[in-house]
Amino acid sequence: MSFGSENFGDNFQQKSKYERNKLPRHALDWGNKPKTYKVYSNPIKKIELPQPDFDKSIDFWNVIKNRHSTRKFTTEPMSIMELSLFLFGMSGLNRVFPQFAFRTVPSAGGLYPIEIYSVVNNVIDLEKGLYHYDIQRHSLNLLKQGDFRNQVAEVCLDQRIASISAVNFIWSAMIGRSQWKYLQRCYRYIYLDAGHIGQNFYLIAEALGLGACTIGALYDDELNQFLEIDGKTETVLYVGVVGKK
């Protein structure tokens, strides 16, 4: 299907609108609520991340003012603490209760559909490969060993910045987590959730003096295949690349 052959974007926008006195009515099936966290039971390796060490001298308003996209990086590696700060800042648990945990980003209905994968290219004391962020344990699960920077660049419409960055973050969505409550409207909220994470990604980079850029242009099926997800129950949304300026 070509993008000009059907107005699917326009159709979605119209069909997913809320109209007064016509809101969808359905009972939430708590017995079949999707799991909040994705867990890999048998990764190649589990890496415990250092607890985030926050620099209290950083000026928040300067971070807001100076945030920008960077498309050139040096070959200097990132530290594992910097990686830890990124992951915590994008989706870390910050208020934990017996039955629920809030995170560093908002999410519609507190459902948190976004998963974070990291393609590590150049991080001190961390081997190259594809990792999944274990949010509950603030740790990384190594899923694939190897240098995948060129492969990620290719699926991002051959954008070179993904091949020279220290880390490529890939954000995916577990559709069922949001769809359980919001039905077809869920896609609107999922995209908003990804946007919240993307903004935190940029702010963290600026706070750490690193360069960052987000990428929305990608070959969805190819990147889903790289992550070994089906593109339906879980699908890629967005990529963020980061490195030393």
Mean pLDDT estimate for the chain: 96
Band the pLDDT of 25: cuts 50, 70, 90. confident
For residues 77 and 143, is the Cβ–Cβ distance under 8 A? no
Question: Taking the domains of the chain in order of start, what are their residue ranges?
Answer: 62-244
pLDDT in tens, 196-212: 999 999 999 999 999 99
DSSP 42: S
Tokens at 229, concatenated? 């997800």
* Whether the predicted pLDDT of 2 surpasses 90: no
| Nearest residue to 137 via CA among 43, 48, 197 | 48
Rounded to an integer, the average pLDDT of 123-151 is 98
d(CA 86, CA 169): 10
Q: What are phi and psi of 211, to 5 degrees?
A: -95, 145
Band the pLDDT of 60: cuts 50, 70, 90. very high
d(CA 132, CA 75): 24
* Whether the predicted pLDDT of 37 surpasses 70: yes
Q: What angle do CA 109, 115, 118 make, to 5 degrees?
A: 150
Rounded to an integer, the average pLDDT of 157-182 is 97
* Whether the predicted pLDDT of 110 surpasses 60: yes
Rounded to an integer, the average pLDDT of 121-140 is 98
* Whether the predicted pLDDT of 189 surpasses 80: yes
| Nearest residue to 138 via CA among 80, 224, 207 | 80
Rounded to an integer, the average pLDDT of 85-104 is 96
* Whether the predicted pLDDT of 77 surpasses 90: yes
**Taking the model in full, what pTM does it have?**
0.95
CATH architecture of 62-244: 3-Layer(aba) Sandwich (3.40)
What is the helix (H) or strand (E) element at residue 48, kind and residue range? strand 45-48
| pLDDT value of residue 6 | 81
